[in-house]
């Protein structure tokens, strides 16, 4: 899988973000071990705490379609302000993919990390 394809998918879906409160539109594209791409955007709510981040939207879509093995994630926001997945998304992603490779694109800046680096000791039952 070409990393650029995953980034483009994240960029495209960021246009669907519903972010009237923060104005911060995010897109995520998750690559499954079987080679499929699932995308998601952030969906905000008037009751702010009910907001769903782009990463969890993509993951929940994928799991709902029977996918449980993930190898790579790209996330995109057009803002040049560098961002990282929130703590909730790190934990939710870790449930399925401790070794996930993550590419974060913030406008013109690109950062590559692993989920292990972002969340070294996730909670597991
Ligand atoms: N957000 C994401 O969707 N993903 C991230 O990695 C960081 C934050 C969203 C949540 C909220 O809608 C907006 O960005 C501002 O926090």
Top mutation candidate among 40, 79, 86, 119 for ligand 1, by most atoms within 8 Å of CB: 86
Domains of the chain: 3-118 (3.40.140.10)
End-to-end CA separation in angstroms for the chain: 32
Q: What pLDDT does residue 88 have?
A: 98
Q: What pLDDT does residue 3 have?
A: 86
Positions marked catalytic: 55
Helices assigned H by DSSP within 15-124:
54-64, 87-94, 115-118
Q: What pLDDT does residue 83 have?
A: 97
Let me know: does 101 contact 93? Beta carbons within 8 Å. Answer: no
pLDDT tens digit at each of 125 positions of the chain:
568 999 999 999 999 999 999 999 999 999 999 999 999 999 999 999 999 999 999 999 999 999 999 999 999 999 999 999 999 999 999 999 988 999 999 999 999 999 999 999 999 99
Top mutation candidate among 10, 14, 18, 22 for ligand 1, by most atoms within 8 Å of CB: 22
Residue 19 Cβ < 6 Å to ligand 1: yes
State pLDDT tens for residues 89-119.
Answer: 999 999 999 889 999 999 999 999 999 999 9
Write phi, then psi, for 31 (nearest 5 degrees). Answer: -95, 125
Q: What pLDDT does residue 90 have?
A: 98
Q: Which residues pair with 104 in a beta bridge?
A: 75, 111
Q: DSSP secondary structure string, 8-46?
A: HHHHHHHTT-B-TTT----EEEEEETTS-EEEEE-B--S
Q: What pLDDT does residue 2 have?
A: 63
Atom of ligand 1 at shortest distance to CA of 57?
3
> How many residues are present in the chain?
125
The model's pTM is 0.97
Residue 113 Cβ < 6 Å to ligand 1: no
């Amino acid at each position: 899988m070409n990393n650029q394809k995953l980034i483009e998918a994240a960029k495209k879906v960021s246009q669907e973000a519903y972010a009237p409160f923060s104005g911060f539109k995010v897109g995520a594209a998750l690559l499954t071990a079987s080679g499929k791409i699932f995308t998601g955007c952030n969906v905000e709510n008037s009751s702010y705490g009910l907001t769903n981040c782009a990463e969890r939207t993509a993951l929940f879509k994928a799991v709902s379609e029977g996918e449980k093995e993930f190898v790579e994630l790209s996330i995109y926001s057009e803002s040049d302000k560098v961002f990282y997945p929130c703590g909730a998304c790190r934990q939710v992603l870790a449930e399925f993919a401790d070794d996930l490779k993550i590419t974060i694109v913030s406008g013109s800046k690109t950062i590559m990390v692993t989920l292990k680096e972002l969340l070294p000791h996730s909670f597991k039952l």
